[in-house]
């Protein structure tokens, strides 16, 4: 696996590049640490929990002060010492600043909901609660898992960074037939996928002649939504928790 591909897996939402800078790698490590240690309380955009807008507060601090807060915590609050090294805390600080700069801060959630449930056609493939399709990843709690910047990027460039669990494949069988769908699981003996017509399908490895990863069927909304509509949709999606 190339370094860009590895970084894309570790830090979903950060664009894969032919060359990675030291800052790119720091952000990848900081993003992984943030997801593991911080996101449960602060959320993907840094605005959850009792701290309010943690990302904005972090940007207001000097870099050294932010690193000290990450390492030592804040007395008399739920933020306890992290146990991170100075280098690790530095990568998390860089990631926090990136989150603040990348966040979508405008948009109307009510208008966005109308687009998602209506003209946007999102529920043709995605599910929210009991409504919608099955072929694409469920969006019921997407706001607790993805930054607003990541959501925006996915709407504009659906194939730029695709998480492992959201990949689509084209399976060709030894008997000449084929099935296309979203890969759910694979092991040494079988492959399971959700076909494009919504059927759960399993194949023995011995029956598969070829398995090829393909682009997501999700279209880009770059031309379909205005910039204001895009912000409305992103704002709505961030409320889904």
Neighbours of 73 (CB within 10 A): 15
List, in sequence order, every residue forming a beta bridge with 193; answer none if it has no partner.
183, 201
Q: Output the pTM of the full model.
A: 0.77
- Read off the pLDDT of each residue in 49-65 and give the average, rounded to a whole number: 80
**Level-2 CATH architecture, domain 168-214:** Roll (2.30)
Domain boundaries, the chain: 3-102, 109-146+220-238, 168-214
Query: Which band of pLDDT confidence, cut at 50, 70 and 90, is reported for residue 54?
Result: confident
Tokens of 42: 């602060």
Give pLDDT tens digits for 2-19: 333 444 444 444 444 445
Give pLDDT tens digits for 65-118: 999 999 999 898 888 999 999 999 999 999 999 888 888 889 999 999 999 999
Query: Which band of pLDDT confidence, cut at 50, 70 and 90, is reported for residue 50?
Result: low
Q: Name which of 166, 51, 30, 161 is nearest 98 in CA terms.
A: 30
Residue 71 carries which DSSP code? H
Q: Which residue has the higher pLDDT, 166 or 11?
A: 166
**pLDDT, the chain, mean:** 87
User: What pLDDT score was predicted for residue 8?
Assistant: 45
User: What pLDDT score was predicted for residue 51?
Assistant: 64
**Which superfamily does CATH assign the domain made up of 3-102 to?**
Cytochrome c-like domain (1.10.760.10)
Q: Same topology for domains 3-102 and 168-214, yes or no?
A: no
Report yes or no: 16 and 4 within 8 Å, Cβ to Cβ.
Answer: yes
User: What pLDDT score was predicted for residue 22?
Assistant: 73
For the chain, give the percent of residues with pLDDT over 90: 65
User: What pLDDT score was predicted for residue 5?
Assistant: 42
DSSP, collapsed to helix, strand or coil, labels residue 200 as strand
- Read off the pLDDT of each residue in 23-35 and give the average, rounded to a whole number: 87
Residue 195 buriedness (CB in 10 A; 0-12 / 13-18 / 19+)? middle
Where residue 73 falls (left for φ over 0; alpha for ψ -120 to 50; beta otherwise) is: left
User: What pLDDT score was predicted for residue 56?
Assistant: 81
- Read off the pLDDT of each residue in 164-175 and give the average, rounded to a whole number: 91
Report yes or no: 82 and 70 within 8 Å, Cβ to Cβ.
Answer: yes
Tokens of 63: 């870099």
Q: Measure the CA–CA gap between 177 and 240, rounded to whole angstroms.
A: 39
pLDDT at 208 over 80: yes
Report yes or no: 15 and 162 within 8 Å, Cβ to Cβ.
Answer: no
């Amino acid at each position: 696996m190339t370094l860009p591909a590895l970084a894309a897996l570790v830090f979903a939402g950060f664009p894969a590049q032919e060359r990675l800078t030291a800052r790119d790698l720091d952000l990848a490590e900081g993003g992984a640490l943030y997801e593991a240690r911080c996101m449960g309380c602060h959320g993907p955009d840094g605005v959850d929990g009792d701290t309010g807008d943690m990302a904005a507060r972090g940007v207001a601090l000097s870099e050294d002060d932010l690193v000290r807060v990450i390492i030592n915590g804040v007395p008399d609050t739920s933020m306890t010492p992290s146990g991170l090294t100075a280098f690790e805390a530095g990568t998390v600080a860089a990631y926090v600043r990136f989150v603040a700069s990348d966040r979508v801060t405008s948009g109307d959630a009510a208008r966005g909901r109308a687009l998602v449930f209506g003209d946007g056609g999102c529920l043709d493939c995605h599910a929210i609660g009991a409504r919608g399709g099955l072929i694409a990843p469920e969006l019921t709690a997407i706001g607790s898992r993805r930054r607003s910047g990541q959501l925006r990027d996915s709407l504009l460039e659906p194939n730029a960074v695709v998480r492992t669990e959201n990949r689509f494949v084209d399976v060709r069988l030894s008997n000449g037939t084929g099935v296309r769908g979203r890969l759910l699981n694979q092991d040494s003996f079988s492959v399971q996928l959700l076909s494009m017509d919504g059927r759960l399908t399993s194949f023995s490895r011995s029956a598969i002649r070829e398995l090829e990863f393909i682009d997501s069927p999700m279209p880009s909304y770059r031309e379909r939504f205005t910039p204001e509509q895009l912000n409305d949709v992103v704002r709505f999606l961030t409320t889904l928790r």
